[in-house]
Amino acid sequence: MENLDVMVLRTLRDWRAQGKRALMATVVRTWGSSPRPVGSIMALCEDGSVVGSVSGGCIEDDLIYQYTQAYRGAQADDDGRAIPVGAPRFIKYGVSADEAHRFGLPCGGTLELLLEFDPLTESLAQLVQALESGRLMQRSVRLSDGAVTLLPAATPAELTLGEHELVNTFGPEYRMLLIGAGQLTEYLATMALFSGFAVTVCDPREEYRGAWSVAGVQLTSDMPDDVVTAFRADRRSCVIALTHDPKLDDLALLEALNTDAFYVGAIGSRRNNDARHQRMTEHFDLHAEQLARLRGPIGIYIGSKTPAEIAVSVMAEVLAVKNGVALPRDLQVAQAKNDRAVQHNDPGVLVCGVPRAA
């Protein structure tokens, strides 16, 4: 499953290229709880087709009614068109408690949308092409007439709404590079795909690649460190080593730590993680600041034992880091296992034999 914004923009581009009328809705403000964050987009075609989301569905239904199915009624413009022409318009939902209930907004939340009518095909095509090429782009919309300006962006940024323009930054797909093609990787890759990541799996071992069965994943047999270099990880990328083999994992992790990847981690116990840190310090002269970026043991503690459960744990941590959520210490795998062992007075299950006082 690809990045949702790219999917919306590509579909909107195709509708407009086919001569269909359409609008683009962007969440520009929220008050209270909101089902979708500021910056979320959706596109609506004149035939009622919708891609993307600005709510749980009720607001989408209202927009469909207003701008497609109502074209024969009083809401149509003078030319009989439900989708109007001209400058963008603002629209609010959930101002009253009754409206919030009607539109499915939690806790009396309110949101405001900016509606752009018939965005130009050329501008949409240029934006989609840049995103598909892996570039981060800033899209500015002039509120007086809907004119769009596209510029490359250096870093991701939150949507801003000024008196005269709206500026939204769109990034390429989030990407995940997994080292090793075992069963755990299959589960994790599947979850990553459904979370909107483009997934690459690297494993030079033929016996593991031969059993790979997850569609939609790029599979490569090159050496992991070479793959990491070619991957060109950026701030929307993560690299996770899952082989338990230092000959494959270590060099790949070293390359990943020299990139802007938002998450770099490796499977293994705390003892294995400590040994990995020692190898990297002694043989590769890595500094403490660099090693601090290397996550391990990876995942959040949910008592996972099977490959599927471990994949859930790892994916949850990746998403938390991606979304800027600080995880408490009691969710860290090693810490949580030790705390649990102390609680149950069971030194036999302490992580790697760590004393209960640790």
Rounded to whole angstroms, how far apart are CA atoms 163 and 288?
A: 46
Cα→Cα distances 162→7, 28, 70, 140, 159, Å? 27, 11, 32, 11, 10
pLDDT in the model for residue 117: 97
Beta-carbon contacts of 47 under 8 Å, excluding residues fewer than 6 positions away, are 20, 68
Looking at residue 345, its pLDDT comes to 59
Is-cis flag, bond preceding 297, omega within 30? yes
In CATH, what number does 174-327 get?
3.40.50.720
Angle, vertex CA 323, rays to CA 322 and CA 329, nearest 5: 85
Give the DSSP per-residue string, 11-46: HHHHHHHTT--EEEEEEEEEES--SS-TT-EEEEET
* Residues 222, 225, 230: CA angle, nearest 5 degrees: 75
Residue 72 has what pLDDT? 44
Q: What local confidence, expressed as pLDDT, does residue 171 receive?
A: 82
287 — phi, psi (to 5°)?
A: -85, 160
| Cβ atoms < 10 Å from Cβ of 332 | 20
- Joined tokens for residue 247: 């000959």
Task: Give the DSSP H or E segment for 178.
Answer: strand 174-179
**Cα dihedral: 32, 33, 37, 40 (round 10):** -100
Mean pLDDT by 10 residues, the chain (358 residues): 81 97 95 80 94 84 82 47 88 73 65 96 96 88 97 88 96 90 95 91 92 90 95 92 92 93 92 87 78 90 92 96 82 65 54 37
Instruction: At 196, give phi and psi (nearest 5°).
Output: 95, 15
User: What tokens does 287 get?
Assistant: 């500094």
Question: What's the CA gap between 93 and 82, in Å, rounded?
Answer: 19
Distances (CA, A) of 187 to 184, 242, 287, 310, 314: 5, 12, 33, 9, 10
Residue 292's pLDDT is 87
Q: What is the pLDDT of residue 354?
A: 38
Question: What was the pLDDT predicted at 174?
Answer: 87
pTM: 0.68
Name the residue type at position 147: A
291 Cβ contact list (under 8 Å, min separation 6): 257, 277, 280, 281
What pLDDT sits at residue 26?
97
Read off φ and ψ for residue 20, nearest 5 degrees: -85, 145
* Residue listed under structure tokens 């093609």: 181
Q: What are the domain boundaries of the chain?
A: 4-170, 174-327
Provide the phi-psi class of 340: left if phi over 0, else alpha when psi is between -120 and 50, else beta.
alpha
Q: Rounded to 10 degrees, what is the CA torsion of 268, 269, 274, 279?
A: -30
